[in-house]
Structure formats: C-alpha cells, structure tokens
C-alpha cells in the first residue's frame, strides 16, 4: 500500500524537480520501524479497558469521582492515541529519500511546520557505504546508507531503509554513469 522501496516510480513528483529529471529510486524507512509509535498507540488505546481491573486489584475505590471525569479521561486518552498515530504516520510517510538521474534528495519532515531538504548532485558523490546492525535489521533487511559528497556539500544519510547494500551499489552505479565509468571500467581485456 505504501511501499518503502520503489525503483523507477511512476506518477511521483517532488518539489523542485526539473522537467527532464527522472526519479530512479524512492525510499522511506522500513515499515517495521513504525513499531516504535504503533505499539505505544495500541497500548494507550486498550489501557482504558484494563484500568477498572487494575484499580480493583490495587483496592482503590474511585467511585467518589464524578462520572464526567472518566469521560474526560477517555477523550484525552483517545485524542492522544490519535495524535501519536497521525504524527507517526506523517513522519514516516513524508521522510523520503530520492535518487534521480541528476541528484540525491533527502527530505526530512520534522512537523507540519518544518521540513529540511538536502540535495546533492550525483556528480559530487564520492563514495557510499551501507550498514546493518541488530536483530530486527538482520531479519527484515534494513539499515543505513551513508553518502559522502565532495566539497562543502553536506554528507547525506539514508536511515533505516530497505536493502541498504543494494541502494549503496545503485547510487555508485549511477555516479559511474555520470563520470563515464562503467561497472567493469577497471577490468581491461588482456
């Protein structure tokens, strides 16, 4: 439904895209990384169902509280669940990494009011490296790609993306195309 790894996506555009610029790779953090906000949202959602049992176990009698307090608690609780879910999804969906035939774009969405966009021309890419660490990362095959740029440009990091080794290789292949070096340019027949 909302893929995290798309090669040659159709019908996608981004702010500042040149008319002749083609998106080669669109990436988001691996969906499994959403568990860090999904689990707390689920726990908060089901918490009101267990509170009476917990109060009974602790032998706390809150029957003296007005019924409207319980209603206010439920409203605040479910609004909090809604905020956590909405913000978590927006953060995941709009933090994207884009590789085009000209540039690498890192869109960092911080909130509805603030986003940061880093752009590095492919011709300025010097090196890429990838890493995977941890049990979940190994099981679900996601990790980080670090892109080293030349000059004063900031280095770009793709965090928690699917297939990090493949992405790093893909970027280097595109850089070699720009510089006129093929994949096998270093191997000359004897």
Please say if the pLDDT value at position 189 is more than 70.
Answer: no
Do 43 and 79 lie in a common domain? yes
- Domain assignment of residue 120, given as a range: 5-10+23-29+95-178
pLDDT reported for residue 57 = 83
Burial class from Cβ neighbours inside 10 Å (0-12, 13-18, 19+) for residue 4 reads buried
Give the ranges where the chain is alpha helix by DSSP (H).
35-57, 67-94, 135-140, 164-178
pLDDT tens readout for residues 95-145: 999 999 999 999 999 887 898 999 999 999 999 999 999 999 999 999 999
Kindly provide the b/e burial profile for residues 15-36, where b requires at least 16 CB atoms within 10 angstroms of the residue's own CB.
eebeeeeebbbbbbbbbbbbee
Pair of tokens at residue 34: 């959403």
Q: What is the pLDDT of residue 188?
A: 45
Residue 41 pLDDT > 60, yes or no?
Answer: yes
Average of per-residue pLDDT values in the chain: 89
* CB proximity list for 187: less than 8 A, separation 6 or greater: none
- Tell whether 73 and 132 lie within a shared domain: no
Q: State pLDDT tens for residues 78-87.
A: 999 999 999 9
Query: pLDDT class for 185, splitting at 50, 70, 90?
Result: very low
Specify the pTM. Answer: 0.82
Q: Three-state DSSP class for 62?
A: coil
Q: Do 100 and 172 reside in the same domain of the chain?
A: yes
CATH of the domain at 147: 2.30.29
* R_g of the chain, CA atoms, integer Å: 23
- Tell me whether residue 123 is in a domain: yes
Cβ atoms of 95 and 31 within 8 Å: the answer is no
| Same domain flag for 50 and 123 | no
pLDDT at 190 over 50: no
- Among the candidates 46, 61, 90, a domain finishes at 90
């Amino acid at each position: 439904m909302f893929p995290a790894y798309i090669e040659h996506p159709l019908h996608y555009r981004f702010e500042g895209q040149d008319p002749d610029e083609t998106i080669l790779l669109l990436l988001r953090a691996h969906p499994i990384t959403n568990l860090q906000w999904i689990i707390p949202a689920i726990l908060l959602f089901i918490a009101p169902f267990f509170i009476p049992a917990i109060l009974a176990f602790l032998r706390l009698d809150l029957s003296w509280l007005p019924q409207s307090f319980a209603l206010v608690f439920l409203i605040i609780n479910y609004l909090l669940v809604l905020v956590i879910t909405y913000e978590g999804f927006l953060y995941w969906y709009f933090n994207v990494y884009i590789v085009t035939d000209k540039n690498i774009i890192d869109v960092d969405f911080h909130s509805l009011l603030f986003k940061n966009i880093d752009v590095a021309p492919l011709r300025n890419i010097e090196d890429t490296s990838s890493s995977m660490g941890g049990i979940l990362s190994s099981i679900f095959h996601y990790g980080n790609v670090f892109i080293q740029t030349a000059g004063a440009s900031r280095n770009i990091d793709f965090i928690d993306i699917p297939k990090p080794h493949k992405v790093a290789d893909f970027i280097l292949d595109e850089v070699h195309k720009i510089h006129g070096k093929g994949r096998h340019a270093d191997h000359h027949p004897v």
